[in-house]
Amino acid sequence: MVYNGFDGYCCHFGVIFHERFKNKRSEYIPMSNLPFVWELDYGGVQSHLVGTMHVLPNWSSVPDFKPVADELLCGKKNILLELEMTKGQRGELIAALTTQKIEDYWGTLDQEERACWGEITGIKPSMLATAPAIGLSSILFNAAGISLVAGVEEILKTSANTQNVIVSGLETVGEQTEYIISEYFQRLPTILKSMVDREKKQPGLIHEHSHRLLRNYLSGEEKALLKEYFLFSEKTVAIVQRNQKMAQRSLSYLVEPTVVAVGVIHCLGEDSMVDFYREQGITTKRV
């Protein structure tokens, strides 16, 4: 399973939902609106920026975002996703990623750490070899017994297709491939070791973290979401560079009413796409 953008792999890796939370659905805050949306005013032209989650769990407490997606895209000319691929391009991306090898991080863990990692995810190390191709998040969700539904981008894309809104990508397949290989394969061992080490010291941390991550997204809690997102990693130069690149490329589209839909982490904190838009004289307002 490959989604429109892999920038959120750390987020996906952290979102390890477990069946033990299936009875906590009432704690989530249902919203009729998408939780992270900004109005963009570019020379009098009204557009919107949407911070998305690439995957969502199939829980009854997760709101139906289709009605608000339909409303958001009404009258729009374009919708810009991180990556828009044909089936052929999707195949090329998968082929490129499956030829790469994840670092042998497993060999750096002692027996106790391996046991801890197995308890956290239920994942065998061999499963991670194909993670980039089929979607690391899907492996984690499935290991936890959680079924998946389409992420926010897919909901928006479906609405766009029914309203004849033009769908385009802000990055090329080659750029996505290069980013995933450089960031994913180089940083994954460090992230895994950090997760295992902290889980050993504070059992249940990762499951609790996952629970808070989804709750904070659905309730629109910016600061809390940022804290959870970077619990096991930090914002890299590559993420900042992608923020600037995607925002810059979107400018030529914003002369017409447009929806820009990217992973929520690109919209929050310092050096975000929101910051870049403001530097370009675009009026932004969280709604």
pLDDT in tens, 138-157: 555 554 555 667 789 889 99
Closest CA to 199 of 114, 102, 105: 114
The structural domains of the chain, with segments of one domain joined by +, span 9-286
pLDDT of residue 201: 85
Average pLDDT estimate for 3-10: 35
- The answer, yes or no, to whether residue 10 has pLDDT greater than 80, is no
Instruction: Taking residues 86-91, report their average pLDDT.
Output: 66
Neighbours of 20 (CB within 10 A): 11
* Contacts (Cβ under 8 Å, ≥6 apart) of 117: 109, 123, 192, 195, 196
pLDDT tops 80 at residue 204: no
Q: What gap in Å lies between CA 173 and CA 155, rounded to an integer?
A: 21
Rounded CA separation 129/7 (Å):
19
Q: Which residue has the higher pLDDT, 287 or 260?
A: 260
Distance CA 4, CA 269 (A): 21
179: pLDDT confidence band, cut at 50, 70 and 90? confident
Q: Does 109 score more than 70 pLDDT?
A: no
**What is the sign of the dihedral through the CA atoms of 275, 277, 281 and 285?**
negative
The proportion of the chain whose per-residue pLDDT surpasses 70, expressed as a percent, equals 63
Return the higher-pLDDT residue of 167 and 231: 167
User: Distance between CA 283 and CA 287 in Å, rounded?
Assistant: 13
Selected residue with higher pLDDT from 94 and 273: 273
Classify burial at 128, counting beta carbons within 10 Å of its beta carbon; exposed 0-12, middle 13-18, buried 19 or more: middle
